[in-house]
Amino acid sequence: MRSDRSRQRESAVKRIALVVRQRRKRLGVTQQALAQMAGCGLMFVYNIEHGKPSLRFDKLLDVLEVLGLELVVTTGNSGPRVVAARP
């Protein structure tokens, strides 16, 4: 049985994946173009969009910046939250 923390983490990873994919598509950018603009590999972008739970944090921030998104960290017991910037 998975812990609440594990479920919250998995949920946050899935939300990040969804937000990144939706934003990229809304901007009309391919995964390849996003990878080039963010200075990372195509596989890294693919891994973000498919919810890989372990990624290089610095590269994730690079991708979010290119997409005009930011990661917001808050305190509290409700677990990680994903907040997307408005287009």
| Domain CATH number, residue 17 | 1.10.260.40
pTM: 0.83
Helices of type H across the chain: 4-26, 31-38, 42-49, 57-66
- If one counts the domains in the chain, the total is 1
* 34-62 tens-digit pLDDT: 999 999 999 999 999 999 999 999 999 99
Asked if residue 21 belongs to a domain, the reply is yes
Domain that holds residue 22: 4-66
Cα 85 to Cα 19, 20, 40, 68: the distances in Å are: 10, 11, 22, 7
Spatial separation of the C-alpha atoms in residues 51 and 10, rounded to whole Å: 8
Residue 11 lies in a domain: yes
In a domain, 74, yes or no: no
pLDDT at 1 over 90: no
Q: Which residue has the higher pLDDT, 2 or 38?
A: 38
Q: State yes or no: pLDDT of 83 exceeds 70.
A: no
Would residue 83 count as lying in a domain? no
Angle, alpha carbons 38-66-84 (nearest 5°): 135
Choice between 8 and 84, residue whose per-residue pLDDT is larger: 8
What is the distance between the alpha carbons of residues 12 and 7, in angstroms, rounded to a whole number? 9
Per the prediction, the chain carries an average pLDDT of 87
